[in-house]
Chain A
């Protein structure tokens, strides 16, 4: 119980030490008026717990799988299949036009990513668990590799598709990590 002394209005200002003493007397616990457990119980029923070991393996397997696919696809596209397909009407044999398209794609991706980060309250990716940070690093690294490949082969529809795909993977990963998943308590 906090004991209080009522001071006359003319008394000198509360000192820093007195404020500090009051902070130390703050109750450590407060009781909510509403009964909260039933809502929590309802929300967690049927919610799968994040299993550290299992999910770590899943997170490790998935990027390894797609990274391998990316590398394989790049090698295939780069070394074996010569670029002859066109992605759509805007992607054609005009190298300069395609370079511009790639730049526009990158810009759209960055805008989408920034928009998502803002909507999630600008989370700091450095605060993520190391394995999560690795996923982003691998995606980023894959994008750099694909963009380098595109510099040499700007007409490759496959490379462009790969770039678009890795960008989408990054956006999906952000969504998966930060999107609220339990709004109906």
Chain B
């Protein structure tokens, strides 16, 4: 995927709600207004949940972590000074919370020996999709990817981060991020082909 596609992804996932209204919510939330904060939650929680679910591939963990994200947001919202779009900033907060969650829940064996996980054999429990009665085949297959390949794929292809940023976030070499992305693409193409499903574009 070339850079223009990455930019597309970034634009798509960082579209803001009405700027003036959002700014008002942010300013009020900074002053401790929980109603304004609830409005921010209403505007963004589905998007943040989607990020959490895709990165964690587990419905229950994604729900817990989505809650963690908004608790952290409440505590840190004063750090947002409008230097970037709120949605971009919130996505980076959420990404860090998800990665922190994954690190905390790694068992000692994985932590010490950096054991690579295998593709998940059991299909992940899919969350409800907005305005859609059935889950995307791609989402189902992303959830089956090995953890590192899944994280890199979601962060690069879906969230629009650069490999340099991903490498830093995941504590790996830039080359490893690229190879994990390649691995993810190969597995996804293979699985989607085997399922005989291709989205009509």
Which A residues are closer than 8 A to B by beta carbons? 1-9, 11-16, 18-34, 36-37, 39-41, 43-45, 47-53, 118, 120-122, 124, 129, 180, 182, 185
| CB-defined contacts of A51 to chain B, threshold 8 Å | 78
| CB-defined contacts of A40 to chain B, threshold 8 Å | 41, 67, 70-71, 74
Q: Say whether B199 contacts A2, CB under 8 Å.
A: yes
Q: Say whether B32 contacts A49, CB under 8 Å.
A: yes
Give the shortest distance, in Å, between B47 (CB) and chain A (any CB): 5
Q: Say whether B68 contacts A5, CB under 8 Å.
A: no
Which label, helix, strand, loop or mixed, suits the secondary structure of the B interface?
A: helix
Q: Say whether B189 contacts A49, CB under 8 Å.
A: no
| CB-defined contacts of B13 to chain A, threshold 8 Å | 28
Distance of A154 Cα from B163 Cα, bound (Å) = 49
Q: Which of A20, A23, A32, A43 is B45 in contact with, Cβ under 8 Å?
A: A32
| CB-defined contacts of B189 to chain A, threshold 8 Å | 13-16, 19
Q: Which of B47, B62, B63, B198 is A7 in contact with, Cβ under 8 Å?
A: B198
Chain A: which residue is nearest B72 at the CB level? A182
Q: Say whether B196 contacts A7, CB under 8 Å.
A: yes
Which of B19-27, B116-124, B135-143, B144-152 is found at the contact surface with chain A? B135-143
Give the shortest distance, in Å, between B32 (CB) and chain A (any CB): 6
Interface band, chain B: 35 or more
B39-81 CB mask vs A (1 if < 8 Å, else 0) is 0010001110110010000010011101110110011111101
Q: Say whether A41 contacts B34, CB under 8 Å.
A: yes
Would you mind naming 10 contact pairs between A and B with Cβ atoms under 8 Å apart?
Answer: A4-B199, A6-B198, A14-B193, A16-B189, A22-B192, A24-B9, A25-B136, A44-B74, A50-B79, A185-B71
Chain B: which residue is nearest A5 at the CB level? B200
Q: Say whether B49 contacts A30, CB under 8 Å.
A: yes
Chain B: which residue is nearest A12 at the CB level? B193
Given A14-B189, A31-B127, A52-B78, A26–B71 Cβ distance below 8 Å? no
Give the shortest distance, in Å, between B96 (CB) and chain A (any CB): 8
| CB-defined contacts of B131 to chain A, threshold 8 Å | 1, 27
Q: Say whether B196 contacts A11, CB under 8 Å.
A: yes
Chain B: which residue is nearest A41 at the CB level? B34
Given A14-B189, A36-B66, A121-B104, A30–B130 Cβ distance below 8 Å? yes
| CB-defined contacts of A39 to chain B, threshold 8 Å | 67
Distance of A43 Cα from B64 Cα, bound (Å) = 12
Is residue B85 contacting chain A, with contact meaning CB distance below 8 A?
Answer: no
Of listed A15, A37, A51, residue having the most chain B CB within 10 A: A37
| CB-defined contacts of B196 to chain A, threshold 8 Å | 6-9, 11
Given A4-B200, A24-B8, A51-B78, A43–B67 Cβ distance below 8 Å? yes
> What 10 A-B pairs are tightest by C-beta distance, nearest first?
A121-B103, A29-B46, A30-B50, A52-B78, A21-B201, A44-B74, A3-B200, A14-B189, A22-B138, A13-B193
Q: Say whether B200 contacts A29, CB under 8 Å.
A: no
| CB-defined contacts of A27 to chain B, threshold 8 Å | 50, 129-132, 136, 139
Interface positions, chain B 1-34, Cβ under 8 Å from A, are 1, 5, 8-9, 12-13, 15, 30, 32, 34
Is residue B37 contacting chain A, with contact meaning CB distance below 8 A?
Answer: yes
Give the shortest distance, in Å, between B7 (CB) and chain A (any CB): 12
Q: Say whether B71 contacts A44, CB under 8 Å.
A: yes
| CB-defined contacts of B162 to chain A, threshold 8 Å | none
